[in-house]
Every structure is written in structure tokens, then in C-alpha cells.
């Protein structure tokens, strides 16, 4: 039997050229020799079921792994290495539940991955995948992260992932989601951030999504059926050329977006379009089956059906738990749409009044541009110079005012409005400006201010 030399000398000679390649880039934060650190990781995996080979600059799976029993491995972390393929050895670990291959150079996924029938979490993000093969859809995955690759499509068979709860395919080149995405009935989180999507599938409305991120795409329209996403808590949609809902609605958040979608749904509903809404006197003259079954084929609704239709439409906008009996019976969708148009016109009128008088261009988000009170104070000073003696304004050193200074500006504006004759019932409250909770009320106050000053100027002349 050969006599072993001193330990440092033995470890200075690596057993093979292949292993030399594997270990050439290994770092070590301890005094252990390089190959001993790798052997320790394999030994720990055999004992614990957790294989941690992260951040070792491996180009292939260690050949010495065959010396250890890894069949019971349930979690494997091979992230931050230099793998160009998923090691075939990984596909033999049939007990594997979690596989982390983040930040490698992997270009393809082998069909043999289908043997991992215990795999519930697969992280293949930040690699060089151009295709996500159908075999992945045959796994019992609950979490799939394929972000930061070069994918231009998802497999049509993705609907087979019936247990999938989280899907992250952000930062790819995907142009459209497959129609079977709507079959992912367990999906809670969907991230398609920074892709090339132009259209959102309507089938997503039927999913129990809690988080949905489609920011940085090319989406112009949110389907009205998305108002059914009652479990949605987080919606990210910035950096899209959205036209419906318009940007000014989207910037206000999820509640305003869903309210808009609900109104659009009622507007486009064929039943509502064909709805015949008589006035109260005419309504009394209709009997319970008037217009139904008439020989000329007219589809006018009966009085009972009219009432039901109106109630159904109205409840879309009443978010509190009111009973149908408490809803005003004279309320109609037509009036609601007229009210919406009036509010939008008032907001645009507010913008135009300020911009034309102060010769400025306000940001698209009008509410946020008024919330510090600076613009409103300048407006009253333009109408009546030096009405507000002191205005707190941002500076390069302090680009954002404190809430205390914002409140003082707003209170000065409101006090000046009172002095200039604006009736108390036309004035808004400070929080309507400071918290952007009542832009309509702000518009009414500003319009009343302009009306009062216009009337005063007329009397003087």
C-alpha cells in the first residue's frame, strides 16, 4: 500500500483534468482546500437532503458526486454558476422538490426533466433560454420563475400546470400569452413585466389572481371583464400606452380602474343599450307583460324586467352592502354616465382654468400637482394680487414640501376663497386637496372662486 504524503502535498495534486476544470474557479472563505470544500458540500447533501453548490463557478456537475448517495435530495441550489445545460444527474434525483438554477448560462431544458415528478418549485431565471419546452408543463409545479431569459412565447400546454400558484416570466420577449393561460385555476401571482404584450387575454379574469404585474408592455386596453378580479390586491400597469382606461384613471389606482371598467361594461352591455326607460307616469301605464311577445318582434322589456335591469346595473357602482330596496328606483345607468361625463368635464375645466390664467402646463396627474397648495395659492394671487402673503414653495435643496407646509398653503388658499366671497357650501375641505380625495370638490371651489371674481369685476365696470 502506498504511503500518503503530508496533507498539503496530497491536495496540491488534483485527481483529474476534468475535476481541475470544475474546481479551478472555486473560492473559499475558510482554510479548507478547494476540492475539500466541494466534497464537504456533497457530504452534507447526502446527510441533510439539501444540496448547496451555489456560487462555485461550476461549468458541469461534479463527477465526484457519484461517490455520495444523493437520491434523497429534496432541494438543490446550483445558482450563480457557469452551467450551459441542466446537469443530467439532476434529472435522476426523483425526490427533488425545489431546483434553483438562477443565474447560469443554460440555453435549453432537457426532456428528461419530466422524471422529476416531485418538483414543485423551479427557478430557471436569468439564463439564456429561448424556448420553454412543453415537458415543463408535465411537472407538478406550484412556482415557476423563468424571468430574464430570451423567451418569445410560452408553451400552449401551459394550462396543464393546474397546481401552479406563481408564474414569473418577466423581462423576456413574449408577444402574447397562450389562450390556455386561463386554465391555471390555482394561479395567485402572475408577473409578465417588461415583455412585448399588446393584448391581455380575457380568460385571466376567471383566475384567482392576488398579484398581477403587466407593467412595461404595449397594452392599450384592459378588458372590461377584468372587473371580476375580486381577489386582486396588487396591480402594476405603469409604462403601457393605455387608452382604456385612460392614463388619468390608471394613475389613481385599482379602485378607480375597476370602477371605470364596471361603467364601460354597463355601457357596452347590449341589454343596457336596448333598455327602454320610461318616465314615472309612463311607467305606471305599463302592465306586467307590456311589449313582451308582441307580434312585430320588438324586444322591449317589461316593467318588471326594466326594474331588474336597472337594479343590476346600479349595484355595480354601490360598493357598500346596500340592499336593492335601498337603491333609488329612479336611478338609471343613463344618468350615471351623464354624471361621469360631467365630472370629467369639470376636471378638464379646472385644468384649463388654471393653465390659461397662470400660463403653465400641469402634469397629467392633476390631483398630485395641486396637493401641496402652491398652484392654488398662485391662482388666487393671480386673481387678486398679494391675497396670500406667504406661499411655501419647494426648492432645489428641499424639492418636496413637508405636510405641515402643504397644509398651511391649502388653508391659506381656502381662507382667501372665503374672503373673496366663495360660499361655504362650495368650498372643499383641506383633505380633498392634501390627500387627492376630492378633485371634483376642488373643481367646484375653484369655479365658484372664478364666478365670484367675475361677478365682482362686472359690478365694478
What is the reported pLDDT for 277?
41
Tell whether 237 is covered by a domain: yes
Rounded Cα gap, residues 23 and 57, in angstroms: 8
What is the reported pLDDT for 120?
95
**Same domain (yes/no): 260, 376:** no
Tell whether 3 is covered by a domain: no
Weakly modelled stretches of the chain, pLDDT under 70: 1-34, 268-337, 455-461
Domain end among 226, 243, 270? 270
**Same domain (yes/no): 189, 72:** yes
Tell whether 77 is covered by a domain: yes
What is the reported pLDDT for 432?
87
What is the reported pLDDT for 374?
93
**Same domain (yes/no): 250, 388:** no
Tell whether 86 is covered by a domain: yes
Tell whether 172 is covered by a domain: yes
For 211, the domain range is: 36-270
What is the reported pLDDT for 334?
61
Query: Domain holding 379: CATH number?
Result: 1.10.418.10
**Same domain (yes/no): 252, 137:** yes
The number of distinct structural domains making up the chain is: 2
What is the reported pLDDT for 456?
64
What is the reported pLDDT for 411?
92
What is the reported pLDDT for 269?
61
Domain end among 225, 240, 270? 270
Tell whether 291 is covered by a domain: no
What is the reported pLDDT for 425?
87
Amino acid at each position: 500500500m502506498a504511503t500518503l504524503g503530508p496533507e498539503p502535498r496530497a491536495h496540491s495534486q488534483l485527481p483529474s483534468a476534468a475535476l481541475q476544470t470544475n474546481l479551478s474557479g472555486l473560492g473559499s472563505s475558510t482554510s479548507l482546500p478547494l476540492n475539500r470544500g466541494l466534497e464537504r458540500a456533497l457530504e452534507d447533501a447526502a446527510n441533510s437532503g439539501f444540496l448547496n453548490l451555489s456560487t462555485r463557478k461550476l461549468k458541469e456537475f461534479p463527477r465526484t458526486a457519484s461517490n455520495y448517495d444523493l437520491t434523497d435530495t429534496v432541494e438543490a441550489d446550483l445558482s450563480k454558476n457557469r452551467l450551459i445545460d441542466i446537469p443530467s444527474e439532476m434529472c435522476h434525483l426523483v425526490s427533488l422538490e425545489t431546483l434553483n438554477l438562477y443565474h447560469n448560462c443554460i440555453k435549453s431544458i432537457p426532456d428528461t426533466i419530466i422524471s422529476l415528478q416531485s418538483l414543485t418549485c423551479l427557478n430557471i431565471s436569468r439564463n439564456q433560454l429561448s424556448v420553454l419546452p412543453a415537458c415543463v408543463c408535465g411537472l407538478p409545479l406550484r412556482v415557476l420563475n423563468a424571468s430574464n431569459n430570451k423567451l418569445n412565447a410560452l408553451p400552449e400546454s401551459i394550462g396543464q400546470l393546474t397546481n401552479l400558484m406563481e408564474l414569473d416570466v418577466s423581462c423576456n420577449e413574449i408577444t402574447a400569452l397562450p389562450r390556455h393561460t386561463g386554465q391555471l385555476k390555482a394561479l395567485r401571482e402572475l408577473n409578465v413585466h417588461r415583455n412585448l404584450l399588446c393584448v391581455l387575454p380575457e380568460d385571466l379574469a376567471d383566475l384567482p389572481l392576488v398579484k398581477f404585474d403587466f407593467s412595461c408592455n404595449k397594452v392599450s386596453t384592459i378588458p372590461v371583464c377584468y372587473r371580476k378580479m375580486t381577489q386582486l390586491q396588487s396591480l402594476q400597469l405603469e409604462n403601457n400606452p393605455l387608452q382604456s382606461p385612460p392614463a388619468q384613471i390608471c394613475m389613481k389606482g385599482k379602485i378607480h380602474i375597476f370602477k371605470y371598467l364596471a361603467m364601460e361594461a354597463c355601457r357596452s352591455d347590449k341589454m343596457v343599450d336596448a333598455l327602454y326607460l320610461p318616465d314615472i307616469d309612463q311607467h305606471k301605464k305599463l302592465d306586467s307583460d307590456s311589449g313582451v311577445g308582441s307580434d312585430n318582434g320588438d324586444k322591449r322589456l317589461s316593467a318588471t324586467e326594466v326594474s331588474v335591469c336597472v337594479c343590476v346595473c346600479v349595484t355595480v357602482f354601490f360598493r357598500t352592502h346596500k340592499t336593492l330596496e335601498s337603491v333609488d328606483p329612479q336611478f338609471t345607468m343613463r344618468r350615471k354616465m351623464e354624471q361621469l361625463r360631467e365630472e370629467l368635464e369639470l376636471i378638464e375645466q379646472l385644468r384649463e382654468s388654471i393653465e390659461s390664467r397662470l400660463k403653465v402646463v400641469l402634469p397629467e396627474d392633476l390631483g398630485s400637482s395641486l396637493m401641496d397648495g402652491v398652484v392654488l395659492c398662485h391662482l388666487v394671487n393671480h386673481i387678486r394680487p398679494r391675497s396670500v402673503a406667504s406661499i411655501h414653495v419647494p426648492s432645489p435643496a428641499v424639492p418636496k414640501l413637508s405636510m405641515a407646509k402643504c397644509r398651511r398653503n391649502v388653508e391659506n388658499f381656502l381662507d382667501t376663497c372665503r374672503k373673496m366671497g366663495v360660499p361655504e357650501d362650495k368650498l372643499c375641505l383641506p383633505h380633498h386637496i392634501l390627500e387627492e380625495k376630492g378633485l371634483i370638490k376642488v373643481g367646484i371651489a375653484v369655479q365658484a372662486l372664478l364666478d365670484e371674481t367675475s361677478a365682482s369685476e362686472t359690478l365694478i365696470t
